Amino acid sequence: MNKNALTRVGTLVGFVLILLWCLLPVAWIISLSFKSQEAVTNGSPGFFPQSGGGAGWQNYVDVLQDEQFRRAILNSIGISLTATILSVALATLTAYAVARLEFQGKKFVLTTALVIAMFPVVSLVGPLFDMWRTFGIYDTWIGLIIPYMSFTLPLAIWTLSAFFREIPWEMEQAAQVDGATSWQAFRKVIVPLAAPGVFTAAILTFFFAWNDFVFGISLTSTERARPIPAALSFFVGADPFNRPASLLAAGAVVATVPVILLVLFFQRKIVAGLTAGAVKG
């Protein structure tokens, strides 16, 4: 009994530590975003804004009024969503073949996906930079959408084929025996069963595209296509030796909002998707 109590206390302490680990840095960046720019320039150490050093919502107003930052948000949303939709569509076809069909070259597909998932992206930056300028898609949305797609495909293919393996495909035939047309059987039986997997793959793909930095800084040169992470890193402010920390923090918080919303609403799906690809089911 004593031992049980000890385990329970240990779990409770661990629970608190996990929450601190995950949320403290987030709380910090939010707190920093409320320090005033003058206070930051003069130096304002400490977790919370000092009295008189608070900025209210001013940093958020400034960031959202910044033309470049607004443009970066638009770019990030547009590019990430397009890449996600296209990538998941292609991955769905591939995963269906991997999970349901016997064919030569299945191993090749899975190995290619595995190798690409581990590819050192920076080693592609040089040749892609050169190629994209030749094709005329340097510094455009499509120039980022293409690499995002190819680097999210492995994750999407894994997640989806793990999901598709679990689908009881016999139900399709059962429905047809019961008089459904093959389209009805697909539409009413298979789509609802496959949808959660597709959706999960879409969220993970979106995370990847939203997070990318290497392609974002190397394949863009202006605000025409520059996504948020790149825009944040180039955001220098008036004094290049003294970065506007609190303004950057406000930008960082804005960039994190979509992530937090997705996590809040789809926590269960994300966990299932992340682990489906990693542990043999």
Partner 1 sequence: MSTSTVNRASDRSRGENRLALKLVAPAVALMLLVTAFPMLRALYLSFFSYSLTAPDEREFVGLDNYATALTDGLFWRDTGNTVFIMVVTVAVELVIGFAFAMVMHRLVFARGLVRTSILIPYGIITVVSGFAWQFAFSNTNGFVNSWLPFVSSDFNWFASYESSMVAIMVSEIWKTTPFMALLLLAGLAQVPEDMLEAAKVDGATWWQRLWKVILPNMRAAIMVAVLFRALDAYRIFDNIFVMTAGANNTESISFLTYRQVIEQFQLGIGSALSVLLFLSVLVVAFLIVKIFRVNLADARQEA
Of residues 35, 37, 194, 226, which one binds partner 1 by CB under 8 A? 35
CA distances from residue 250 to 64, 107, 109, 253 in whole angstroms, order as listed: 9, 46, 42, 5
Bridge partners of 35, per DSSP, are 54
Tokens representing residue 8 in the block: 């329970």
Q: Does 187 participate in binding partner 1 (rule CB under 8 A)?
A: no
Amino acid making up residue 161: S
Q: Is 151 in the site for partner 1 (CB under 8 A)?
A: yes
User: Quick check: 9 binds partner 1 (CB under 8 A)?
Assistant: no
Cα gap 255→263, rounded to integer Å = 14
In the bound state with partner 1, the residue whose beta carbon lies nearer, of 187 and 243, is 243
Figure out which of the listed residues 47, 179, 238, 239 binds partner 1, where binding follows CB under 8 A.
47
* 93 touches partner 1 by CB under 8 A: yes
Residue 76, SS3?
A: helix
CB nearer partner 1, residue 43 or residue 179? 43
> Do 262 and 81 form a contact (C-beta atoms < 8 A)?
no
Determine if 109 is a binding residue for partner 1 (CB under 8 A): yes
> Among residues 153, 194, 225, 250, which is the contact residue for partner 1, using CB under 8 A?
153
Per the DSSP assignment, residues forming a β-bridge with 54 are 35
Among the listed residues 232, 236, 204, the one whose alpha carbon sits nearest the alpha carbon of residue 216: 232
Nearer to partner 1, 179 or 240 (CB): 240
- Residue 56 Cβ, how far from partner 1 at the closest point, in Å? 18
For partner 1, the binding residues in 204-243 under the rule CB under 8 A are 207, 210-211, 213-214, 217-218, 228-229, 232-233
- Which is closer to partner 1, CB of 65 or CB of 134? 134
Instruction: Give the DSSP H/E element, type plus range, for residue 220.
Output: none
Of 56-64, 111-119, 179-187, 190-198: span binding partner 1 (CB under 8 A): 111-119
Size of the site for partner 1 (CB under 8 A): 107
Q: Contact, 50 vs 231, CB < 8 A? A: no
**Interaction of residue 131 with partner 1, rule CB under 8 A:** yes
Determine the interface stretch with partner 1 among 39-47, 64-72, 171-179, 180-188 (rule: CB under 8 A). Answer: 39-47
Distance (Å, whole) CA 270 – CA 260:
12
User: Which stretch of DSSP H or E encloses residue 51?
Assistant: none
- Which one of residues 64, 77, 125, 193 is an interface residue with partner 1 (CB under 8 A)? 125
Nearer to partner 1, 131 or 195 (CB): 131
DSSP secondary structure of 160-200: HHHHHHHS-THHHHHHHHTT--HHHHIIIIIHHHHHHHHHH
Region binding partner 1 by CB under 8 A among candidate stretches 65-73, 112-120, 171-179, 181-189: 112-120
